[in-house]
Amino acid sequence: MAIKFQYNKTSLQQLEKQLKVRKRTLPIIKSKESALRMEVKKCKDDLVRLERELEEGIGRYESMFALWNEFNPNLIRVADVHLTVRKIAGTRIPVLDKVDFEVTPFSLFSQPKWYYDGINILQSLAHDAILVEFTTAKLALLEKARKKTTQKVNLFEKVQIPGYEDAIRKIKRFMEDEENLSKSSQKILKSLLERREAEKEKEAEA
């Protein structure tokens, strides 16, 4: 990254201020990145567990396949999904609160007795499937935030901070060289004036 600067004290002060801000901010960003990394790992573990539980839940009722053919799927539907928003390491993440189901009334006389159990089973499986979807979305958001934060850490740590430090070194070196040159010029001028003064004194004596 090319840092724009001028070889003067004002530019030096501005660069030093920018460098100070970045050095002060870097540990905060690193801490955020670490927290997001942990959350991503936790979310991945949760997703693996939830997907396994959903598969196991579906597997438990495969033996009832013949009965499910008799079941009317229009009896139950998802009416509403309630969610809340939680901040995780500064990132807004949707969290599943609860799922509302709407069950169409049916006659106990014209439908099999196990329909009530079937409705409860479907509610449980649908809830788990929705939770898997929410966790997948949560993971995607956390991954995006983590990558963005990692990029910022790398930008500060590997590009901007070294760039500002290098620019500050160049300005200081230039100003030191300029000061040394000025001192040398003053010494030469002083020596020249002293020599001329001495020559004038000799001429006056002669």
Taking only the tens place, the pLDDT of each residue in 195-205 is 777 666 666 66
When divided into structural domains, the chain yields a total of 1
Structural domain contains residue 77: yes
Q: Supply angle C-alpha 77, 132, 65, rounded to 5.
A: 55
Structural domain contains residue 119: yes
Structural domain contains residue 191: no
pLDDT at site 202: 67
C-beta separation of 100 from 80 below 8 A? yes
- Residue 18 pLDDT grade (very low, low, confident, very high; cuts 50, 70, 90): very high
Structural domain contains residue 135: yes
Closest CA to 8 of 182, 180, 171: 171
C-beta separation of 46 from 135 below 8 A? yes
- Range of the structural domain that residue 53 is part of: 24-146
Range of weakest confidence among 11-15, 68-72, 104-108, 135-139: 68-72
Residue 21: what residue type? V
- Residue 112 pLDDT grade (very low, low, confident, very high; cuts 50, 70, 90): low
Structural domain contains residue 173: no
Mean pLDDT of the chain: 84
Q: What is the pLDDT of residues 26-49, one digit of tens each?
A: 999 999 999 999 999 999 999 999
Does this model's pTM top 0.85? My answer is no
Structural domain contains residue 39: yes
Q: Is a pLDDT exceeding 70 seen at residue 178?
A: yes
Closest CA to 50 of 35, 58, 80, 140: 58
C-beta separation of 137 from 94 below 8 A? yes
Q: Who wins on pLDDT, 108 or 4?
A: 4
Structural domain contains residue 117: yes
Cα–Cα distance between 55 and 130 in angstroms, integer? 13
Structural domain contains residue 169: no
